[in-house]
Amino acid sequence: MSRPIKNAPGAPAPESLPECQRILRYQFQRPELLAAALTHASAVTDRSQSNERLEFLGDAVLGLIICRHVYELFPADPEGRLTTLKSAVVSRKTCAQVSQTLGLPGYMRVGAGVARAGRLPISLVAGVLEAVIGAIYLDGGLEAARPLVLRHMQAWIDRYAASAHQDNYKSMLQQYAQRTLGRTPEYRIVRESGPDHHKSFHIQVCVGAREFESATGPTKQQAEQQAALRALAALGVLDPAASGSEETPGGE
């Protein structure tokens, strides 16, 4: 995987640093830290002047912020699931996607050989994001780095959590609704049909004043899971087609 280079090799133009800071929504007290974060090893003769050390630091800062966030966000999840989620969020692939979305590769200083290639490898694109996080941490501390990380990583957390929580849509909806909407989902039995030995339960979920499409299942638990899935799909959190919307996941 590679990414296009926007800028020619050379030091980041002084006027580009304020523009980069606007994109990051962070004003550096020491802009030289940002300049260092944007400098690839191919552009300098002394590797200590590159962004490698900042990338090392930023990787740890990113991991800590995500670990704490998912720890608080999913209080019922076991360690194994939290580890899987964290690993996906801080992966090279995800970091490269966020870096590209921010446009960080376009502000980088790279060597002539890298520039001639015309495209940047995924490791370099991901690495500059980590280096920038490290620079912000050194400049303003953990609380300065946290907003940038969560602003751009929350959507990925939601996406990966959707996959990890497919066996319990009710749990996922509750966590999302409480965090995003400040509400707790309520499940209502719309009606019951069929004989006692072969009943069908029609259940609708509501979050505040918003009502979602009802769902049907042979038990209340299964109907509630399907109703939660439909709500998640309506909220844009989960793609039912990708999740097997007709398959009822495990109960509560």
55, 59, 77, 224: the catalytic one is 59
| Closest alpha carbon to 140 in 21, 17, 50, 15 | 21
The reported pLDDT for the residue numbered 206 is 95
Count of CB atoms within 10 A of residue 140's CB?
Answer: 16
| pLDDT tens per residue, range 186-222 | 999 999 988 877 788 999 999 999 999 999 988 888 8
For residues 26 and 241, which has the higher predicted lDDT (pLDDT)? 26
In order of their start, the domains of the chain are 2-164 (1.10.1520.10), 169-243 (3.30.160.20)
Average pLDDT across the chain, whole number: 85
- Looking at residue 166, what is its pLDDT? 57
Return contacts of 229-232, CB within 8 angstroms, 24+ apart. Answer: 229/169, 230/205, 231/173, 231/185, 231/205, 231/207, 232/162, 232/169, 232/172, 232/173, 232/176
pLDDT cut 70: percent of the chain above it: 86
Catalytic residue among 52, 55, 72, 130: 130
pLDDT digits (tens, 9 = 90+) for 48-61: 889 999 999 999 99
Any catalytic annotation for residue 130? yes
Greatest mean pLDDT range, 28-32, 112-116, 238-242: 28-32
Buried b (16+ CB within 10 A) or exposed e, 148-164: bbeebbeebbbbbbbeb
Distance CA 35, CA 12 (A): 7
pLDDT digits (tens, 9 = 90+) for 220-251: 888 898 899 899 889 888 765 544 444 433 34
What's the whole-number mean pLDDT along residues 66-84?
88
Residue 119's Cβ-side half-sphere holds a number of Cα atoms within 13 Å equal to 5
Please give the residue that has the higher pLDDT: either 247 or 11. 11
CA distance 251 to 219: 9
The verdict on whether 59 is a catalytic residue reads yes
Provide the sign of the torsion angle of the four alpha carbons 46, 50, 54, 59, taken in this order. negative
Q: Is the separation of the CB atoms in 194 and 200 below 8 Å?
A: yes
Range list of H helices, the chain: 16-24, 31-37, 52-73, 79-89, 92-102, 112-117, 122-140, 142-164, 169-176, 220-234, 240-243
**What single string gives the DSSP state of each residue in 75-140?**
TT--HHHHHHHHHHHTSHHHHHHHHHHHTGGGG-B--HHHHHH-EEEHHHHHHHHHHHHHHHHHHH
Is the Cα dihedral 39, 18, 99, 118 positive or negative? negative
- Model pTM? 0.65
pLDDT band at 65 (very low <50, low <70, confident <90, very high): very high
Per-residue pLDDT reduced to its tens digit, 149-175:
999 999 898 888 877 665 578 888 888
